[in-house]
Each structure stands twice: as C-alpha cells, then as structure tokens.
Structure 1
Amino acid sequence: MDEKKQLRRSMKKQLENLSFPLYEDYSYKIAEKLFKDKNWLEAKSIGITISKPPEVDTLQIIRKAWEQGKQIAIPKCNPETRKLVFRTFTRFSQLEMVYSGLYEPVVSLTEEVNADALDLLIVPGLAFTKSGFRLGFGGGYYDRYLGEHKKQTVSLAFSQQVVAQLPVEPHDLPVSKIITEAEVIECER
C-alpha cells in the first residue's frame, strides 16, 4: 500500500508540472482520438467523470456527447458503503460540490443508471500500464464498479501517465483501452 501512496504522490507532482497550454492541447488531442474511436461511435450511453485538473479535461467530451445525442451518466460516490453509482446527467446545473472539491450529480435532479445500461465507461486514474491496469485515486470505487460493468472500458491519460509497471492486486481489473495524446493503446489481455 505504501508503494501505491508514493506512486500517487509522484504522479500528481508530475502532472502538476504540466503547463496549462500543454494540458489544454493534450486534452483536446485525446478527445479528438476518442471521438474517432469505434467504442465512442457505437456507444449510445457513456459513463464519465467530471474531471478536475490534472485529469484529462472531460467537460469538452461531455458537451460533444450531448451534441451527438448520447446519454451521459456521471458517478456518485457513497463514502459510507464505498460504492459508486452512475446517474443521468443532462446539464451542468445538476452538479454539486462534494468532498475533495469533486463535482457529483444532485440526487434529486438525476436518476440512477444500471451498470449494464452504459455502453462505454470512461475510467479515471493516475497511472496506467499498457496491459490496462490502473492506479486510481485511492478510494477503490472504480475497482468495485468494474466488476459490475461488462461492456467497453476506456481510460484517458497523458503519455506520462503510462508507466512500465504498477503494483497489481488480485481485485484489480484492467481497462480495455487507453487513449493518450500520442497513441491509442489496445490493452494486452
């Protein structure tokens, strides 16, 4: 566990050094690759987070999905049960700030979406291997949720977030694909 904490700290520090112009440029390039991806093109419903720097910007991706008539669902975390659910999301006024400065859906304004109703799940993380394993932010929410979600999974990352290896535990589930500003990685299984 200490190794994961150190890796999280190290990656956050690296990402904080990414200048705003590069952050915007790389986020745009990643989004453009995603919009051409078969999984995106075929998906009618997409699960995605509301990003905050230094994560790849997802706001432009959400807007594009709405323009294309795709249903968007965003995560709501329950810290007591350590569970994640996705809820419908049709406008930014349905958000509220919760712990750690994260934005989540207002429950009274949104509806829960079953895991099997999401055609594509865009999974966040701090670091990734080319085989699709990821280092999350430490809550374990996505590790648990990935066990329920059986459809396509994609992670969006800056090239520097793709590393040679990560500590992998038995409960860790890999994503199918990683999209960076430089490449699309079909994860080895």
Structure 2
Amino acid sequence: MSKIFLRNQVLDTLNNMSRTEHIKKSLEITDRVLASNEFRSADTIGITISRYPEVDTRPLIEAAWVAGKQIAVPKCIHATRKMDFRLITSYDSLETVYMGLFEPILNETITIEKEGIDLQIVPGIVFSDEGYRIGFGGGYYDRYMSDYNGDTLSLAFASQTSKSVPIEGHDIPVSKIFTEEKLILCQKRETTK
C-alpha cells in the first residue's frame, strides 16, 4: 500500500473516533509516557502542539511544566524544509501558522540546539512496529533526526499502528511508540503490555 493510501485510511479512522474516546485514550497514552524512564530523565523535551485527531499532547506538556522540564516546540523553515526548536513556557508564546499548526512566536521564544533536547517526541499518522512513520509528507522530522542523538519516541493510538509501512532511504525510525494498549520497542522489534 502507498503512503498516501495508508495516511488517508488512518486519518479516516481517527476522524471517526468520538471526542470522549479521543480524550480517554490520549490520557492513557500520556500516563504511559509520564511513567517512562525517557520522560523522567529528560530535562528538555521537543514536542509539537497536537491538532485533532492526533493524540493530544497538551496534558503531557502541562505535566512536563509542572515537573520543571523545558518544552521546545518546532518552528518550520519552509525555504529550507528544516525546523528550529524554540523554548516555550506557556501557550501564549504560540501562533497559528501554515495548515493550522501552532508554532512559537519568534520574538517571544529562544532557539535551543539539538544537543540541548534530551527527548524528542516525534509526530506521525501511521507507525510501523519497526518505528518508521508516515507523517504529513513534508519530511521535516526525518531531516531533523538524521543527526539527532537523544531519545526518540512517538505517541499513537493503537489504530495508527501497522506491522509495516513503505519506507524510503531517508526515513528515520523512532525507538519507542506509546499507545493506549502497549509500548512498542521498535529497535528490538518486540512489544510489552
């Protein structure tokens, strides 16, 4: 199956999830991440501000702030198709941009280098058990992760996972995928309940 077909199929499934189910499952995923060694040991976390029907990242961001962690949100640079991550301390430092994404306001935030981000939470639409993902098609995260050395994980509803997805040479897998049902350990190709 093509990436476009898989992306559209999973988006249709997600869009048919009730708001109540979406909230419940998002919180279950958040609880799993909060209990993880990656989250507990990270001082600075790179993460996007999710948009429905993605797993809601706001509870995780707010828990990180309460725990005294720094949150870095990507700012897309369309001319180069790259991203800078910028530190935010509240949602007031965000603006709505291209495709309804929430990004940091430049004059209210500061850039943080890759080396300063301990944990990168990577978004996507479809995820394979090997940690490969299908995003929205821009390739921003694959370029970013090509030389990122910190921990990587993704948040996904179980309905977003697949045994495999089409991959290309530039695709970079994540190490773990947290769903409401299980933790997928991608590098070891095994799962735990």
* TM range, smaller chain: over 0.9
Aligned residue type for 1:151: G
Unpaired segments ≥5 residues, structure 1: none
In structure 2, C-alpha distance between the alignment counterparts of 1:133 and 1:140, rounded to whole Å? 12
Deviation (angstroms), 1:5: 1.5
Deviation (angstroms), 1:3: 1.6
Identity level (%): 45
Deviation (angstroms), 1:148: 2.3
In structure 1, C-alpha distance between the alignment counterparts of 2:184 and 2:163, rounded to whole Å? 13
Deviation (angstroms), 1:71: 0.6
Partner of 2:103: 104
Deviation (angstroms), 1:175: 0.1
Q: Does 1:70 align with 2:69?
A: yes
In structure 1, C-alpha distance between the alignment counterparts of 2:10 and 2:42, rounded to whole Å? 31
- SS of 1:181's equivalent in the other structure is coil
Residues 36-185 of structure 1 correspond to what in structure 2 (within 5 A)? 36-185=35-184
- SS of 2:2's equivalent in the other structure is helix
Aligned residue type for 1:112: T
In structure 1, C-alpha distance between the alignment counterparts of 2:4 and 2:84, rounded to whole Å? 25
Partner of 2:25: 26
Deviation (angstroms), 1:28: 0.2
Contact preservation (8 Å) 2:76, 2:84:
yes
Q: Which runs of 4+ in 1 moved over 6 A?
A: none
Length-normalised TM-score, structure 1: 0.97
Deviation (angstroms), 1:107: 0.5
Length-normalised TM-score, structure 2: 0.95
In structure 1, C-alpha distance between the alignment counterparts of 2:184 and 2:7, rounded to whole Å? 22
Deviation (angstroms), 1:188: 3.0
Aligned residue type for 1:106: I
In structure 2, C-alpha distance between the alignment counterparts of 1:15 and 1:138, rounded to whole Å? 18
In structure 1, C-alpha distance between the alignment counterparts of 2:158 and 2:10, rounded to whole Å? 12
- SS of 1:22's equivalent in the other structure is helix
Aligned residue type for 1:146: M
Deviation (angstroms), 1:126: 0.3
Superposed CA RMSD in Å reads: 1.0
